[in-house]
A and B are shown apart, each in its own frame.
Chain A
Amino acid sequence: MRKNIQRVGLLFLNIFFIALCFGVLIPILYAFSVSLNAQDSLIGADFRFIPRDFTLEHYRAVLFDYPVLLWLSNTVILAFSSVFISMLVAIPGAYSLSRLRFKGSRPIVKSLIMLHSFPAILSMFALFRLLMPLGLINTRTGLIIIYVGTMSIFGLLNMKGYFDSIPSDIEEAAQIDGANKRQTVMLILLPLAKPAIVVTCMMVLIFVWNEYIFAITFMTGASNYTLSVGLFSLQATEMAGSWPVFAAASITISLPVLVVFFAVQRYMVSGLTAGGVKG
């Protein structure tokens, strides 16, 4: 009797979760189905989640009728330079702040945490005004400078958190065995921190890929559009634009992020809370 009650309860729980997952995914599923739908049944009442006729026409339109490949290359250049430069300064800095505790390292960490809580949007106009006379508005360099600045704070704090979690006994043991400082860092610490470095790189990459507000405000020329600005310009409204094409573009742009996210997902929660910062 008791067992039966339990079984029924479990059944209801499963039904609940299946309904919930479906409900949560509706906006994404709807966009996906619209992007594949050959019929123009958008405004009719006979909309369905599985289209009657499939087509890849909207994806073809996204890739070839719009300069998406140009936007992609702009985004990739921005993303990789930002990751490279910010990690180049953040890894040694985080090592120094975590391992070589010196006078002033604690205040530095504290002010970094404070700066990290400052939303970059608030100093956006000042940045605009400073970059303008340098001719860096509407250039990739201008955006890279901004992204690198904000992301090195994130990288420093995140990497310091990881370095702190690696016990220093291992390095001490290596030093007793005769390894010098350089060797301990290169042969012991960095290999141990490799997963953390990869995850932090991925998070910076996702940040730049998903950044839109600086991009839409600073990038005014169509040849400098990033994926986010491009998608922004494709938006369908009551007046203009095509909702199926916009849906197809949204799915296309999200795919790489989804792949990266689920690849590093295991580390996301610990990575976000270990350093005490959220990207």
Chain B
Amino acid sequence: MIRRKIGTLNAWLLVIPALILIGVVVVFPIGYTGYISLTNMNIFNWFTFRIIGFRNYINALFLFDSGFLQSLGVTVLWTALNMTFQLVIAFVMATLLNIEKLRLRKLYKTLLMFPWAMPGYVSILLWRTGMFNTQFGLLNQWLYRLGMEPVRWLAGDVSAFLSSMFVNLWLALPFMIMIMDGALQSLDKSYFESAILDGAGWLTRSVKLTVPAIKPIIGPAVIITLFTTFKQFDVIFLMTKQPGAQTGANIHTVLTYAYENAFITHNYGFSSAVSMLIFLMLISLALLVNIRLRRVAD
């Protein structure tokens, strides 16, 4: 009995430093964000702020021109499009990489990993300056050679959204291809041979056999990617929203929206309310995914 108590005490002693650290650095600021969200703190009320209840939340959710709902819509569209393209393209690529007798498979895989290996912000800045820049970007140089007018890629909402999505796919596909590739390699080949003998074509085999077979294997990675895509900040921020170098496009994901309200327009209370709303959404999304996963497992 006493031994067990000492054991539990030991277990707590080992984990408590980490918990204290996380509590102070991560949990407390989240709570403080919650507190700020109930105040009218902004640059003029740095010290003289007062509690105004849930007015910031009401403004974010019901004042249509606050911009939060639009940014939420953009984020949902962004997530849906990115996930669809990622899953389809990664599946096709992984299938092609697994075709027998493809000798240089390893080399291709290594080269295709580069976008994942590069520091993300460096890649995005290289895309912005090297490819999309109106003057010396490669895209406009190609257009120039074809005798066409230069395009301001990042200035319009739609073209900036599509450009950002392209860059995000470029960044995220290597991880997804590797996951799919690993899943395909773990499948039992004999399972498919009988289907080929039965005369099933590639598409039928993919839809009826391969996809259901790899679903449970890629599940966790897909869910993780779903969350990272929803929480994507870097691409849109660095491509269009850099302080002092905005490109004119007015697209926001929820995260860039919260950042802009805190550090550009200095609406601290409002930004904190937005942050808390995003946090609630992430938690509910996580719970929903958990319930569905458990149902699948049962």
* Interface of A toward B, CB cutoff 8 Å: 6, 10, 13-14, 16-17, 20-21, 24-28, 30-31, 34, 42-43, 45, 47, 88-90, 92-93, 95-97, 100, 102-103, 105, 108, 112-115, 117-127, 129-130, 145-146, 148-150, 152-153, 156, 206, 209-210, 212-213, 217, 228, 231-232, 235-238, 243, 246-247, 250, 253-254, 257-258, 261-262, 265, 269, 272-273, 276-278
Contacts and interface: CB of A to CB of B under 8 A. Distances in A.
A273 B116 CA distance: 16
Contacts of B116: 261
Nearest to B131: A27
Interface stretch (B5-13, B67-75, B193-201, B204-212): B5-13
Contacts of A265: 113, 117
Given A212-B121, A278-B228, 14 more contacts: A13-B99, A17-B104, A21-B108, A34-B130, A47-B141, A93-B17, A108-B19, A113-B286, A123-B275, A125-B33, A126-B30, A145-B25, A213-B234, A278-B224
B15 A117 contact: no
Given A96-B11, A146-B25, A212-B121, A14 B30 contact: no
A117 B111 contact: no
A17 B32 contact: no
Contacts of B30: 118, 122-123, 126
B18 A90 contact: yes
B91 interface: no
A153 B127 CA distance: 32
Contacts of B19: 93, 108
5 nearest A-B pairs in the assembled complex, by CB-CB distance: A149-B25, A93-B18, A100-B11, A96-B14, A122-B275
Nearest to B17: A89
A17 B15 contact: no
B111 A24 contact: yes
Contact of A269 (B32, B129, B135, B179): B179
Contacts of B134: 238
Interface stretch (B53-61, B80-88, B156-164, B256-264): B256-264
B187 interface: no
Contacts of B227: 117
A21 B101 CA distance: 19
Contacts of A212: 121
B22 interface: yes
B contact face: mostly helix, strand, loop, or mixed: helix
Contact of B126 (A13, A112, A247): A247
Nearest to B27: A115
A96 to B, nearest CB: 4
Interface string B113-131: 1111111111101110111
Contact of A117 (B18, B141, B286): B286
Contact of B108 (A17, A247, A277): A17
B130 A108 contact: no
B33 A126 contact: yes
A92 B29 contact: no
Given A43-B135, A102-B11, A247-B126, A149 B224 contact: no
B33 A257 contact: no
A42 B101 contact: no
Contact of A122 (B145, B220, B255): B255
B170 A24 contact: yes
B32 A126 contact: yes
Contacts of A235: 125, 129, 242, 245
A95 B111 contact: no
| Residue from B17, B21, B99 having most chain A Cβ neighbours under 10 A | B21
A34 B130 CA distance: 9
